[in-house]
Amino acid sequence: MPNRLVIPVIVVVLSFSFISFAQTTAPRQSGAVRDQKAGPAPIHDISGLWDPTPPGVGIQAQGPLNMRNDGKPEHELPYTPYGSQVYKSHKPLEGPIAVAPGLDNDPRNLCEPLGFPRMNWYNLWSTQIVQSEAKVLILYQYDQKWREIVMNQELPKDLLDSERRFYGYSVGKWVDDTTLVVQTTGTMPENRVWLDSTGRPLSDQLRVEERFHRVSHDRLELTVTIDDPKMYTKPWVAMDKFAFKLLPPNTRVLEMLCSPVDQANYNKEIGDTVNGTTKTEKPDAH
């Protein structure tokens, strides 16, 4: 049985291991952000290359920023009995019920797709938003994932039961000159995706609302509300006015990938060593 006292240190090592093999230098920028002229937000436009601010705040290792899984009473989620059961069955590498590396069952550590909305608070770095009249595309630096938001349409009810997606189906509409509201549903069931790295659950009944509010030319704020009646007794806010700053358009965004080969090597060289197992040994069940 691994010594529980060393687990927090182990978790930090693992968290940074994903970043170290993918990105070894900071993005090169031509021209500083401060050189951009601040001004009012353009109408119906959130396009651009955006970076969470302050730097590093998008890592969110304990879960979404406004509802961290940190043991504080105000951050305790309103689980249904089934939601609590699913949460306790998970073996995350972070949070109050963390296990040692190599003993976890987080789908992410098999390099499975993160799924939605976890991508909004797992290693959230530079994010490119591209717009047309019919669609908004969001490109995420981590694992080079992207989402499609279809504008001014209803959610595709005929597809929700027959074709589930890791990132769901998203539709958006402008509710005022500077606020885009996006509704997403049709995501994967609970055995395929987690809410965050601490093991909190999601289900195929999930509905997510995102509010992208462009406060000014150089600032974008994102609010995310979770509504999953299978796992939680009421909706709750995961991110509240999470801030991004606009980067120069010629900023170079480096690659950040989840590599199954690198993950396997990490488990072999570090995870198996820490938890005292090898390929031919199994961890003590006691």
Q: What's the pLDDT score for residue 285?
A: 41
Residue 29 CA, chain-centre distance (Å), reads 25
Q: Are 167 and 116 in contact (CB under 8 A)?
A: yes
208: enclosing H helix or E strand: strand 207-216
Is 12's pLDDT higher than 60?
no
Residues 6+ apart with CB under 8 A from 69: 62, 63, 75, 94, 95, 96, 196, 198, 200
pTM: 0.81
pLDDT digit string (tens) for 235-268? 999 999 999 999 998 999 988 878 778 767 777 7
Q: What's the pLDDT score for residue 176?
A: 98
Is 123's pLDDT higher than 70?
yes
pLDDT digit string (tens) for 137-156? 999 999 889 999 999 999 87
Higher pLDDT, 34 or 157: 157
The residue with tokens 């289900």 is: 203
Is 47's pLDDT higher than 70?
yes
Show the DSSP H helices in the chain as ranges: 7-20, 81-89, 260-266, 272-275
Q: What's the pLDDT score for residue 155?
A: 86
pLDDT digit string (tens) for 69-80? 999 999 999 999
pLDDT digit string (tens) for 92-115? 999 999 999 889 999 998 889 999
Question: 56-65, 158-167, 175-184: lowest mean pLDDT where?
Answer: 158-167
